[in-house]
Amino acid sequence: MVSSQRVVTAFKSDFVVLSWCKFVLTDPRPKTETPLKKSRKRAMGEDIKEAEDSKRVNMGSAELTKLWNLCPDNMEACSNAEREFLPSLEEFFEEAIEQSDPEAMVEDEYKVVQNPNFGFRALRLLACRSPHFFQPTNNQFKTLPSYLENILSKLAKELPSPSEELKTDTDMAENEELLDEKKADSPQGPPPLTQEHIDILAEKLGADWKKMAPHLDFKGAEITAIEGDSNEMNTQATQLLVTWQDREGPQATVDIIIAALEDAGMQEISDVVFGEGEESSSS
């Protein structure tokens, strides 16, 4: 039989355990946990405004964001010449045009126009670069190669052959050599009016450009038009000289300007801008 002392000890142990569990479950001490703050969802307008201010668009992915922001002006990037991946008509149809020549003696089955992949790419390129693709015709083509053969006959008349291009380049090089020899043999003419001359002369002339204008064959209406374009005297003088230079072309030389300054009674400006060396060379 179990002694009464053991029963009492067992009850005491159970009471202690139950008391501890009750204390843990019902802890009277205040809890110190901070409540979670709910994050506010950003509006779409805020994202757009932030992108405009920073000039950087967030695409939601690191790689997409990097790719999109490679160039600040995406339209400019799309129109860049480096993004021109389409070949020219000369490059793409060069082999096909050579094979269409009867002197090449290439059998039809070995021509590139018989290749379906070539035909598909040829149609896409013609639609982008050739007006022949959209021209109506009365000819009925049953196959794509026959249609391409017809287009090649037209392109062969328009596009220069490689031999002609090589000949043209050679002729141009020979002509340039002859021109250089003639320039070396021919005496040097009067020096042309340069942009540096125009800048210095316009600064020296100031409001006196109106005195010089009639000696450069400028009429009253032309002088009035120059006056109306700007209020700055230097700008007006520069426009007078640039307009005269564009009008005269290669004949716009220093000696004509010197003569016009002398006729207008501004010899001192001519000596300052051009000096005795320019004047003596022009005479």
Residues 215/260, Cβ–Cβ less than 8 Å: yes
SS3 (DSSP) at 253? strand
Count of beta carbons in the 10 Å neighbourhood of residue 212: 23
Residue 246 has pLDDT above 50, yes or no: yes
Whether the per-residue pLDDT at 16 is higher than 70: the answer is no
Torsion of CA 140, 144, 149, 153, to 10 degrees: 70
Residue whose pair of structure tokens reads 């992915």 in the numeric block = 61
Q: Which of 189, 187, 192, 188 is nearest to 258 (CA)?
A: 192
Query: Is residue 1 over pLDDT 50?
Result: no
Distance CA 201, CA 191 (A): 16
Task: Give the CB-side neighbour count of residue 151, counting CA atoms within 13 A.
Answer: 26
pLDDT digits (tens, 9 = 90+) for 181-223: 655 555 566 788 888 888 888 888 888 888 888 988 888 888 8
Per-residue pLDDT averaged across 91-119, rounded? 89
Terminal CA-to-CA distance of the chain, rounded, Å? 148
Phi, psi of 253 (to 5 degrees): -110, 170
The mean of the pLDDT values for the chain is 76
Q: Tell me, what's the pLDDT at 185?
A: 53
Task: State pLDDT tens for residues 52-76.
Answer: 677 677 777 878 878 777 776 767 7
Query: Which residue is listed with tokens 């020296």?
Result: 204
- What is the band of 14 on the pLDDT scale with cuts at 50, 70, 90? low
The mean pLDDT of 225-234, rounded to a whole number, is 85
Listed range (25-39, 81-95, 107-121) with the worst mean pLDDT: 25-39
Domains and CATH numbers, the chain: 89-158 (no CATH), 195-282 (1.10.533.10)
Q: Which helix (H) or strand (E) holds 57?
A: none
Nearest to 108 by CA among 65, 67, 148: 148
Q: What crossing angle do the helices spanning 233-248 and 220-229 adopt, rounded to 10°?
A: 130
Q: Which residues make Cβ contacts (< 8 Å) with residue 147, sequence separation at least 6?
A: 141
- Tell me the CB-side half-sphere exposure of residue 253, using CA atoms within 13 A: 14
Q: Please state the separation of Cα 98 from the chain's center in Å.
A: 35
Q: From the DSSP assignment, how many helices (H) and strands (E) are in the chain?
A: 15, 0
Q: Which two tokens stand for residue 248?
A: 């005269």
Residue 199 sits at the vertex; the CA angle it makes with 254 and 268, to the nearest 5 degrees, is 60
Cα-flanking dihedrals φ and ψ of residue 72, to 5°?
Answer: -60, -40
In sequence order, the β-bridge partners of residue 192 are: 253
